[in-house]
Amino acid sequence: DQQVKQNSPSLSVQEGRISILNCDYTNSMFDYFLWYKKYPAEGPTFLISISSIKDKNEDGRFTVFLNKSAKHLSLHIVPSQPGDSAVYFCAASGSNNNDMRFGAGTRLTVKP
């Protein structure tokens, strides 16, 4: 039973436009949410995170939004660049933090 779901396996956007990646979770005990980025032949690298006490966190071109009532979070990339093309994983963890769960990933392609 997947507790973290990314329902869009792929997304394609034009360079300079906004990319919006979505993620849903089912476990109300999760209190910390993260996005990881993965290039082929490399391990995932941490991108941005948000705790459950916030509804928005921004870092440069990347913003994560959290809607706790809907158990939904999203990652916005503005403006998108070709170098952003990668697989993005949504992850969630409880206070224990040894129970981090990942979504299936969304492959983002940014076209020049």
Partner 1 sequence: DVKVTQSSRYLVKRTGEKVFLECVQDMDHENMFWYRQDPGLGLRLIYFSYDVKMKEKGDIPEGYSVSREKKERFSLILESASTNQTSMYLCASRAGGYGYTFGSGTRLTVV
Residues at the contact surface with partner 1, assessed by CB under 8 A: 2, 4, 6, 9, 32, 34, 36, 41-46, 49, 89, 91, 93, 97-105
Closest to partner 1 by CB, 43 or 60:
43
* Shortest distance, position 50 Cβ to partner 1, whole Å: 10
* Shortest distance, position 12 Cβ to partner 1, whole Å: 18
* Shortest distance, position 97 Cβ to partner 1, whole Å: 6
Torsion of CA 87, 93, 21, 5, to 10 degrees: 90
